[in-house]
């Protein structure tokens, strides 16, 4: 099968599977997702290997290329993100098959699968899109599917959180879309062509400001983060893994691509340093709020705010050697680790009936594989060897020191120490003596899913050379 055919499969297959899940309904809907998932993993692997070998993955839909038509192009960052999406998506599909639904979802468990598969299609389309308008379309598909996933259990807290998410997402989308209008004045919407056409001036500056603010809102960066913890905490556990692992990462992928390919010549050094400072603010504020949490899922949600902040360091460090692969390696490692940790939290909540930290005492004795998955995922968040998070932060540290911007190195070290604080808080409670609370055994094979994702995030640190080569393919 050609690369163009595989690219089409990556978007069309989850859309077809979503339609099939909607029509089948009930528990039969799970068949649609579980049959599509391994095909999508295979397709993502084929495309990632092709990009890593230096082959061009490009597809002009209907034979019309840019600037008149829609063109898909896959670079190293997009290929890595697509592969992470496939791995997390397959893990979530398996997990959701055995997950005990609650609330409204208990009466109609098949409702999970159509928005999940629509989200998967949007993520794959975003990885392939090569123009700012189709990135907007993919972002909206992702946001709408994610909002539906938050509300599935029908709880009042979930609906309130989803409405707040909807409001922030639509304001962010409006800012982004108006920015697209300003960019269209340069005669094209293709990212590569925009990079050559955009010139400093009022239209470019307005586009930069509007699109950056819109994508920061969607990425839950401080101070636009208030929607994320309630939404990710209230969603069903399989949905929480998707939201914190992939949805936030997708918006960051677009933001970093725009700054690297289009806005680098427009923004001055002072603005780049300010964007980096906002990233550090996210790291510090998100970590401090994570340390203050008394429940496991909100703690993990606030840690997402912190971890996403590191990626903004690519704006001031973008020209330094190792910064680009380091930043995107961190994005992919976080996606896998955080998905694993949210699935593990879901199992603990299922087994113990509560995710308050004092209530998870004894979890290590009852569910050693699940707690082990939390610990391995925590290694990535802390940036300890041999995890993918360690390799990513090592590359970012090297880029900061090489470029003479040593202050970002201090921020990376401080963030790692704060992450150690909240990760060890989780583990300290899990390893305490068991309380008298009842324990409901979970299926052993379900414990293997978060452990498998966490192990992949760990092994990424041992595959530095091929991963770095892949992420540098097509880098600006």
Q: Kindly indicate the confidence band of residue 42, based on its pLDDT and cuts at 50, 70 and 90.
A: very high
Q: Kindly indicate the confidence band of residue 83, based on its pLDDT and cuts at 50, 70 and 90.
A: very high
CA dihedral 412, 414, 417, 418 (to 10 degrees): -110
* Confidence at residue 374, expressed as pLDDT on a 0 to 100 scale: 93
Residues 276 and 259 placed together within one structural domain of the fold: no
- Stretch 135-140: mean pLDDT, rounded? 94
* Confidence at residue 341, expressed as pLDDT on a 0 to 100 scale: 95
Residues 378 and 330 placed together within one structural domain of the fold: yes
- Stretch 88-97: mean pLDDT, rounded? 93
Considering only residues 196 and 337, tell me which one the structure prediction assigns the higher pLDDT: 337
* Confidence at residue 68, expressed as pLDDT on a 0 to 100 scale: 65
**Mean of the per-residue pLDDT values for the chain?**
88
**Domains in the chain: how many in total?**
2
* Confidence at residue 189, expressed as pLDDT on a 0 to 100 scale: 86
Residues 291 and 209 placed together within one structural domain of the fold: no
Q: Is residue 217 predicted with pLDDT exceeding 80?
A: yes
Residues 303 and 226 placed together within one structural domain of the fold: no
Closest listed residue to residue 34, CA positions, set 109, 86, 97, 116: 97
Q: Which residue has the tokens 């049959």?
A: 35
Name, of 28-37, 53-62, 326-335, 458-467, the range with top average pLDDT: 326-335
Q: Kindly indicate the confidence band of residue 15, based on its pLDDT and cuts at 50, 70 and 90.
A: very high
Cβ atoms of 171 and 220 within 8 Å: the answer is no
Q: Is residue 69 predicted with pLDDT exceeding 90?
A: no
Using a 10 angstrom Cβ sphere, with 0-12 exposed, 13-18 middle and 19 or more buried, the burial of residue 268 is: exposed
Domain boundary among 248, 267, 286: 267
* Confidence at residue 107, expressed as pLDDT on a 0 to 100 scale: 61
Residues 8 and 117 placed together within one structural domain of the fold: yes
Domain boundary among 267, 286, 317: 267
412-438: per-residue pLDDT in tens? Answer: 999 999 999 999 999 998 888 776 667
Residues 247 and 274 placed together within one structural domain of the fold: no
Rounded Cα distance between 270 and 276, Å, is: 10
Residues 259 and 286 placed together within one structural domain of the fold: no
Residues 207 and 345 placed together within one structural domain of the fold: no
Residues 239 and 290 placed together within one structural domain of the fold: no
Residues 368 and 236 placed together within one structural domain of the fold: no
**What's the domain range around 263?**
1-267
Q: Which of 78-82, 102-106, 185-189, 275-279 has the lowest mean pLDDT?
A: 102-106
Q: Is residue 35 predicted with pLDDT exceeding 90?
A: yes
Give per-residue burial for 347-377: e unless 16+ CB within 10 Å, then b: bbbbbbeebebebbbbbbebbebbbbbbbbb
Residues 37 and 145 placed together within one structural domain of the fold: yes
Question: What percent of the chain has a predicted confidence (pLDDT) above 70?
Answer: 95
313-342: per-residue pLDDT in tens? Answer: 999 987 788 889 999 999 999 999 999 999
The model scores a pTM over 0.75 = yes
Domain boundary among 226, 249, 267: 267
For residue 341, the surrounding DSSP H or E stretch is: helix 323-352
- Stretch 172-185: mean pLDDT, rounded? 92
Residues 238 and 272 placed together within one structural domain of the fold: no
């Amino acid at each position: 099968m050609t690369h163009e055919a595989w690219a089409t499969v990556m978007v069309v297959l989850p859309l077809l599977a979503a339609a099939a899940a909607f029509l089948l309904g009930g528990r039969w809907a799970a068949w649609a997702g579980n049959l599509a998932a391994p095909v999508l993993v295979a397709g993502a692997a084929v495309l990632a290997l092709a990009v890593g070998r230096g082959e061009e993955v490009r597809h002009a839909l209907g034979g019309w290329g840019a600037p008149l038509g829609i063109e898909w192009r896959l670079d190293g960052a997009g290929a890595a993100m697509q592969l992470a999406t496939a791995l997390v998506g397959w893990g979530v599909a398996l997990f959701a098959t055995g997950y005990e639904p609650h609330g409204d979802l208990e009466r109609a468990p098949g409702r999970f699968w159509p928005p999940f598969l629509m989200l998967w299609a949007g993520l794959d389309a975003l990885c392939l899109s090569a123009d700012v308008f189709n990135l907007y379309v993919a972002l909206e598909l992702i946001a709408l599917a994610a909002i539906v996933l938050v509300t599935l259990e029908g709880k009042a807290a979930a609906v309130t959180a989803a409405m707040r998410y909807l409001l922030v997402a639509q304001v962010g989308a409006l800012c982004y879309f108006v920015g697209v209008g300003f960019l269209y004045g340069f005669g094209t919407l293709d990212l590569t062509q925009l990079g050559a056409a955009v010139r400093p001036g009022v239209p470019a500056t307005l586009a930069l400001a509007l699109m950056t603010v819109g994508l920061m809102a969607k990425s839950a960066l401080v101070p636009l983060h208030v929607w994320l913890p309630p939404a990710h905490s209230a969603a069903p556990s399989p949905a929480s893994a998707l939201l914190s692992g992939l949805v936030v990462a997708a918006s960051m992928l677009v933001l970093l691509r725009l700054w690297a390919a289009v806005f680098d010549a427009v923004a001055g050094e002072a603005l780049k340093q300010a964007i980096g400072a906002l990233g550090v603010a996210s790291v510090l504020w998100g970590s401090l709020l994570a340390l203050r949490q008394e429940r496991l899922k909100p703690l993990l949600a606030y840690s997402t705010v912190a971890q996403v902040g590191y990626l903004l360091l690519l704006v001031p460090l973008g020209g330094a050697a190792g910064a680009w692969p380091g930043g995107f390696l961190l994005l992919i490692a976080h996606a896998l680790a955080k998905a694993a940790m949210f699935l593990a939290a879901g199992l603990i909540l299922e087994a113990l009936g509560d995710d308050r930290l004092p209530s998870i005492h004894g979890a290590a004795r009852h569910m050693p594989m699940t707690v082990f998955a939390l610990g391995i995922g925590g290694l990535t968040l802390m940036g300890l060897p041999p995890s993918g998070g360690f390799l990513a932060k090592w590359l970012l540290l090297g880029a900061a020191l090489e470029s003479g911007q040593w202050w970002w190195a201090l921020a990376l070290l401080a963030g790692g120490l704060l992450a150690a604080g909240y990760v060890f808080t989780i583990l300290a409670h899990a390893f305490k003596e068991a309380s008298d609370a009842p324990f409901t055994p979970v299926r052993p094979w379900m414990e293997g899913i978060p452990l498998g994702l966490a192990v992949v995030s760990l092994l990424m640190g041992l595959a530095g050379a091929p991963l770095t080569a892949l992420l540098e393919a097509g880098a600006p």
